[in-house]
């Protein structure tokens, strides 16, 4: 009888995930509806199979709702508002022009537009802007259609873990209980080797001969900046500062190698187009690096906290210190300096609100589901079963778990919410560092972006090849396998030394 009870518990733990796989792969319903149904299945299993107390279920729902709205949804909303405002006042065209005049070299252009500008778009907004916009720009510069899409897809791997000013890492910290800054640093360390390799992938896609110093230098500058910022500052700025520093390196490299021939003057107006993003960087740096400001904004009256006794958990909400508020203030200020009209703000606000509604439903459902699975014991059971199958080799396949989450949900954030806690439980069961395996989920999830249906659809839209997702998938899949194999080796090797 006890054995049948365990089988029933295992089925109830797997059922929400199986439904999600089926619904998203075969597109039987919209993603936000699929996530809501998956949450209802989890609630049903928690009550009737796991016998979870009603108070725990109710407070898990409340805690999940609060965690999703603040800071995650608020940060995403502010990032989307900033991007839409820049589009409304046409500053985005100035940003594009300033990028396209740096060099005539094909590889340098690919690095600037896809690897750097794409990462910057991911860092400040996410939501597909980092795939569709670089694809379209590369196409306009004369790159072949599928080459443009593939370069944009491979570039949209490493930075997605720090998307929308660090939201995926924030979400991972929320569901696992791991320290935010420690997670940010360990993820940067895990991604360092693959960041060096991505520029070589881009060169291979272009099928051209190129100076190895350019390729290695680009990867090294990006990797060092992203890792150091993630380690010492936190998850908010790696995908913003790394592209800026790498573009600066490429400008200097181009001037030295091409003796200035590839560089045209960037107009003052185009340079001013970067102002809102510059203000975001400054505000986050000030609040993260200055301990006096950080301490002031992290306590009353700028912050409050309360205890959820049923979950034995303290919830803290920072009004100003959270990235979402800093981004919103920077966007509004930058817009005023760039002479944005009230109508521009209104359209940006309404556009961001309309865009975030499905995401609100998805993220809230997933966080509540992750909470319930954790408090009921489902996550722990799944982790035990996975470890029983793979044993000490589990760290090697842990990035694959993260990639599956991205393939299903379309984002690193969703993957971290779904499987972050499972990874830490697996780590405890095999004696590996839970922090290292939590990071492995986020790092592996970056590879999943290569085959995410959402990303593939955006990429083919950017090159005017709608309906050709299958062809693009076949072209990019070998790179996905290689990327994931490298990540698996990194995580497995690290798990032997980091405890």
Beta bridge partners, 305, equal 316
Q: 3-state DSSP call for residue 307?
A: strand
Q: Look up the pTM and report it.
A: 0.80
Beta bridge partners, 304, equal 317
Of residues 402, 482, 372, the one with CA closest to residue 55: 372
Distance of CA 343 to the CA centre of its chain: 31
Q: What is the DSSP letter of 116?
A: I
Distance CA 227, CA 221 (A): 10
Radius of gyration of the chain from its Cα atoms, rounded to whole angstroms: 22
Distance CA 201, CA 197 (A): 7
pLDDT at residue 185, rounded to an integer:
96
pLDDT at residue 264, rounded to an integer:
64
What is the total residue count of the chain?
A: 499
Question: What phi-psi label fits residue 42: left (phi over 0), alpha (psi between -120 and 50 degrees) or beta?
Answer: alpha
Residue with tokens 């001013």: 272
Distance CA 277, CA 39 (A): 36
Of residues 241, 244, 226, the one with CA closest to residue 187: 226
Distance CA 430, CA 387 (A): 7
* Whole-number Cα distances in Å, 199 to 32, 163, 250, 263, 456: 35, 19, 13, 21, 20
Cβ neighbors of 395 (< 8 A, separation 6 or more) are: 430, 432, 436, 437, 440, 488, 491, 492, 494, 495
Cβ neighbors of 147 (< 8 A, separation 6 or more) are: 138, 205, 206
Q: CB–CB of 203/215 below 8 Å?
A: yes
Distance CA 237, CA 241 (A): 6
Mutual angle of helices 394-409 and 2-25, in 10-degree steps: 50
Q: What is the DSSP letter of 45?
A: H
Q: What is the DSSP letter of 160?
A: G
- Angle in degrees, CA 409, 122, 445, rounded to 5: 40
Q: 3-state DSSP call for residue 104?
A: coil
What is the full per-residue pLDDT of the chain (499 aa) written as tens digits? 567 788 899 999 999 988 987 887 787 888 788 889 999 999 999 999 999 999 999 998 998 888 888 877 888 788 889 888 988 999 988 887 887 777 778 899 899 989 998 898 888 766 666 787 788 778 877 889 999 999 999 999 999 999 878 889 999 998 898 999 999 999 999 999 999 999 999 999 998 888 899 999 999 999 999 999 999 999 988 999 999 999 999 988 988 876 555 556 778 888 898 898 889 888 888 887 777 887 888 887 878 888 887 777 777 888 888 888 988 999 999 999 999 999 999 999 999 898 888 778 877 888 888 888 888 888 888 888 888 899 889 999 999 999 988 886 678 888 898 889 999 999 999 999 999 999 999 999 999 999 887 787 778 877 878 767 778 888 999 999 999 999 999 999 999 887 6
Q: Which string of DSSP letters, residue by residue, matches 393-431?
A: GHHHHHHHHHHHHHHHHSSHHHHHHHHHHHHHHHHHHHT
Of residues 246, 240, 338, the one with CA closest to residue 285: 240
Q: 3-state DSSP call for residue 449?
A: coil
pLDDT at residue 167, rounded to an integer:
87
Cβ neighbors of 371 (< 8 A, separation 6 or more) are: 60, 61, 63, 64, 175
Listed in order, strand segments (DSSP E) in 174-321 are 303-308, 313-318
Of residues 247, 206, 223, 221, the one with CA closest to residue 116: 247
pLDDT at residue 255, rounded to an integer:
81
Q: CB–CB of 208/106 below 8 Å?
A: yes
Cβ neighbors of 260 (< 8 A, separation 6 or more) are: none
Q: CB–CB of 429/383 below 8 Å?
A: yes
Beta bridge partners, 303, equal 318
For the chain, helix (H) and strand (E) counts, in that order, are 24, 2
Retrieve residue 355's tokens.
């865009």
């Amino acid at each position: 009888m006890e054995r049948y009870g365990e089988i029933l518990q295992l089925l109830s733990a797997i059922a929400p995930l199986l439904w999600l796989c089926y619904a998203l792969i075969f597109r039987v319903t919209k993603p936000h509806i699929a996530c809501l149904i998956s949450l209802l299945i989890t609630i049903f299993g928690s009550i009737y199979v796991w016998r979870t107390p009603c108070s725990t279920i109710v407070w898990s729902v409340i805690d999940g709702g609060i965690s999703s709205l603040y800071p995650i949804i608020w940060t995403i909303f502010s990032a989307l508002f900033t991007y839409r405002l820049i589009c409304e006042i046409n500053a985005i065209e100035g940003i594009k022009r300033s990028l396209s005049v740096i060099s005539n070299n094909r590889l340098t252009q690919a690095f600037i537009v896809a690897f750097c500008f794409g990462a910057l778009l991911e860092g400040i907004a996410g939501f597909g802007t980092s795939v569709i916009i670089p694809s379209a720009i590369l196409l306009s510069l004369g790159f072949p259609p599928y080459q443009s899409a593939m370069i944009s897809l491979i570039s949209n791997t490493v930075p997605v873990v720090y998307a929308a000013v660090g939201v995926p890492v924030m979400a991972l910290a929320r569901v696992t209980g791991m320290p935010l800054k420690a997670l940010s640093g360990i993820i940067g360390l895990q991604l360092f080797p693959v960041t060096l390799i991505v520029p070589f992938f881009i060169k291979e896609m272009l099928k051209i001969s190129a100076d190895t110093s350019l390729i290695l230098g680009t990867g090294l500058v990006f990797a060092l900046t992203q890792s150091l910022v993630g380690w010492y500052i936190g998850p908010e700025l790696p995908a913003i500062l790394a592209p800026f520093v790498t573009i600066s390196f490429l400008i200097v490299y181009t001037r030295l190698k091409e003796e200035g021939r590839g560089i045209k003057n960037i107009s003052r107006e185009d340079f001013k187009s970067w102002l809102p993003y510059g203000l975001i960087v400054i505000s986050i740096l000030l609040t993260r690096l200055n301990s006096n400001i950080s301490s002031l904004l992290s306590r009353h009256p700028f912050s409050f906290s309360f205890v959820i006794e049923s979950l034995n958990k303290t919830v803290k909400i920072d009004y100003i210190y959270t990235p979402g508020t800093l981004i919103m203030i920077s966007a509004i200020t930058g817009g005023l300096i760039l002479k944005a009209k009230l109508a521009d703000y209104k359209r940006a606000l309404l556009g961001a609100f309309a865009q975030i509604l499905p995401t609100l439903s998805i993220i809230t459902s997933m966080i509540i589901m992750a909470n319930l699975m954790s408090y009921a014991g489902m996550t722990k059971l799944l982790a035990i079963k996975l470890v029983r199958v793979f044993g000490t080799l589990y760290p090697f396949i842990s990035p694959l778990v993260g990639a599956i989450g991205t393939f299903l949900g379309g984002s690193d954030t969703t993957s971290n919410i779904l499987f972050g806690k499972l990874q830490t439980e697996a780590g405890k069961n095999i004696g590996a560092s839970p922090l290292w395996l939590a990071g492995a989920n986020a790092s592996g999830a970056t590879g999943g972006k290569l085959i995410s249906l959402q990303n593939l659809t955006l990429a083919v839209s950017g090159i005017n090849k709608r309906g050709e997702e299958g062809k693009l998938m076949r072209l990019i899949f070998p790179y996905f396998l290689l990327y994931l194999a490298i990540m698996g080796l990194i995580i497995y090797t690290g798990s032997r030394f980091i405890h």
